[in-house]
Amino acid sequence: MARSHLTLAALATSAVPGLTVVGSGPLGLGATGDFDSALLRTAEELEVVVRVPTSQRAETEQARELLALAALTDGIRSRLPFTVPTVLGQTPAGDTRAVVSSFIPGVQVSADALPAGDGVATSIGGALAALHALPGSFVGEAGLPDQSAEESRREASSVVDRALATRLLPAAVGARWTDAIADDTLWQFNPTVVNGTVSAESFVIAEHEVGQIVVGMIGWSGLRSSDPAHDLHWLSGAGEAADSVFAAYTAASSRTPDARIRVRAMLYAELELARWLLHGKDTHDRAVVDDAVSMLDGLVEHVLGDVMHPLSQHTGPVLSVDDVETLLARTPRTSAAGGGTGLETDSYDRSELESVMTDRAEESDAAAIQDAETGPIAVVEGRGAADAHADAAGSDDSEPAERARTTMSAEERERRRRASIRETVELDTTGWIRSGGDQLDAADPTARSQRDRNSGSE
């Protein structure tokens, strides 16, 4: 049964000596079902928060946050452009404890409602860059986790292996994650101080003279030294605003972020589904398992279509026949280089057509001669059949060519004739010549008259 605001107010006065509570209400800022919480107003017109964990997981989270907030000394906090909550006191509350901390007034914006461009998005990017620029020495001194790049990789690998062991992970998703873990280039980064549990709701937004900016950050149970991409994974749901946050983050960073940070951020976002699945399995909560499986199935479509932004640099999946047909259907058809056919012009050059026909006839003659079962035939390289025929008529050196023609049987000559006819039929030039001739006649009546006289003389 949830504790009432009056009960929580009484616990707060016990936790903070001299605290006088004059009002209480529900805590709408970051409240979850894991805590009984209330927003209290003091006699000094200050606002404080009291929270009591309602589960073992929430109690562990609260203990980690107490350690993190204690590690964030005044000197460390002075390096940040936003406010961090301060613990005011704590007191036993049954089998757990109640913790009172300062309240940071403002509003929260969900990831999908985050506006792109200058303003909130750029302020978030700058806030994260300032956090990641903190000196990491205080993390180890406070006993907080200090995780190397290889340890971050092993942690991600462990999540993937456990998810695969459930046999509920879609094959395409499992292969995508496994390839990412195996990609050495993905895990070359320098660890930084990270919040570790950042979401869009972690940022407290308030009006400022320059507009809406980040004035505070809440939820510090994951504070450690690790992969800075952990604090960026939530941007997968931020739409176009993600680019604005990343641009501001890069511009404000004291050192250039590694080239694959956004890819790892995407991987961590996807692994949250695996963690949700494992949570359902560990707690034997069938509803959670079914929810996780449903979301993983929805991820499959994204994975199969994400050929432009894979998690690893390995070769992506080969397109299926359906994918190829879809791409072809979306590709506009273009004419071949050099222009179209004579049918697509207002006029045409008859000599070009005759040249094409001559070349095809010569190719057919050469193929027929090569197929013939005859002896060696002398061929003049680099010269066409018409040139060879002219040489035979006017030179004494024409005997080899003459022997080639006389050696050919009647059957071979018939094959050559049919091949020439077949080439002409396949080109289907009858209509083309007629159409082109008509166009030429229309443009030049004199040429038509000359052709008619030539035909009569023939």
Residues in the chain: 458
Q: Where are the extended beta strands (E) located within 61-169? A: 87-93, 96-102
Nearest-angstrom CA–CA distance, 21 and 18: 10
Nearest-angstrom CA–CA distance, 192 and 128: 11
**pLDDT in the model for residue 26:** 87
Nearest-angstrom CA–CA distance, 447 and 452: 9
Chain-centre distance for alpha carbon 375: 65
211: confidence class by pLDDT, cuts 50, 70, 90: confident
Best CATH choice for the domain 106-331 from the list 3.40.50.10540, 3.90.1200.10, 3.40.50.300, 2.30.30.90: 3.90.1200.10
Segments of the chain assigned to CATH 3.30.200.20: 1-104
Chain-centre distance for alpha carbon 166: 27
**pLDDT in the model for residue 130:** 97
Q: What are phi and psi of 387, to 5 degrees?
A: -65, -40
**pLDDT in the model for residue 357:** 54
Strand order in the sheet with 87-93: 21-25, 35-42, 47-53, 96-102, 87-93
Q: How far is CA 89 from CA 19, 22, 86, 100, 196, in A?
A: 10, 18, 9, 5, 24
**pLDDT in the model for residue 34:** 87
203: confidence class by pLDDT, cuts 50, 70, 90: very high
Cα–Cα–Cα angle for 325, 177, 275, nearest 5°? 125
Q: What are phi and psi of 444, to 5 degrees?
A: -140, 90
**pLDDT in the model for residue 255:** 84
pLDDT at 28 over 70: no
Identity (one letter) of the amino acid at 450? Q
Owner of token pair 């013939």? 372
**pLDDT in the model for residue 346:** 44
339: confidence class by pLDDT, cuts 50, 70, 90: very low
Mean pLDDT of 303-327: 56
pLDDT at 133 over 80: yes
Q: Where are the alpha helices (DSSP H) in 72-184?
A: 74-77, 120-132, 137-141, 149-165, 171-182
Nearest-angstrom CA–CA distance, 372 and 365: 11
Segments of the chain assigned to CATH 3.90.1200.10: 106-331
On average, the pLDDT of the chain sits at 79
Nearest-angstrom CA–CA distance, 111 and 92: 36
Nearest-angstrom CA–CA distance, 35 and 32: 6
441: confidence class by pLDDT, cuts 50, 70, 90: very low
The two three-digit tokens of residue 290, written as one number: 């079914």
**pLDDT in the model for residue 323:** 57
pLDDT at 252 over 90: yes
**pLDDT in the model for residue 394:** 45
Identity (one letter) of the amino acid at 371? D
Could you tell me what percent of the chain has a pLDDT over 90? 59
Asked which of 138-142, 216-220, 397-401, 415-419 is least confident by mean pLDDT, the reply is: 397-401
C-beta of residue 34 within 8 angstroms of C-beta of residue 43: no
**Number of Cβ atoms within 10 Å of the Cβ of 443:** 11
27: confidence class by pLDDT, cuts 50, 70, 90: confident
Report for 18-27, 244-253, 324-333, 419-428: range of highest mean pLDDT: 244-253
Strands 203-208 and 35-42, how do they pair?
A: unpaired
C-beta of residue 280 within 8 angstroms of C-beta of residue 154: no
For residue 102, what are the β-bridge partners? 48
Asked which of 100-104, 190-194, 419-423 is least confident by mean pLDDT, the reply is: 419-423
Mean pLDDT of 393-398: 45
On the 0-12 / 13-18 / 19+ scale of CB atoms within 10 A, 223 is buried
**pLDDT in the model for residue 224:** 97
pLDDT at 269 over 70: yes
Cα–Cα–Cα angle for 353, 355, 359, nearest 5°? 120
pLDDT at 43 over 50: yes
Nearest-angstrom CA–CA distance, 273 and 170: 12
Determine if the pTM surpasses 0.85. Answer: no
C-beta of residue 80 within 8 angstroms of C-beta of residue 86: no
Mean pLDDT of 170-183: 94
**pLDDT in the model for residue 240:** 94
CATH topology of domain 1-104: Phosphorylase Kinase; domain 1 (3.30.200)
Structure letter (DSSP) for residue 187: G
Asked which of 95-99, 159-163, 170-174, 451-455 is least confident by mean pLDDT, the reply is: 451-455
Cα–Cα–Cα angle for 188, 190, 193, nearest 5°? 140
C-beta of residue 130 within 8 angstroms of C-beta of residue 248: no
Q: What are phi and psi of 25, to 5 degrees?
A: -165, 175
159 closest CA partner among 142, 172, 173, 146: 173
Chain-centre distance for alpha carbon 25: 44
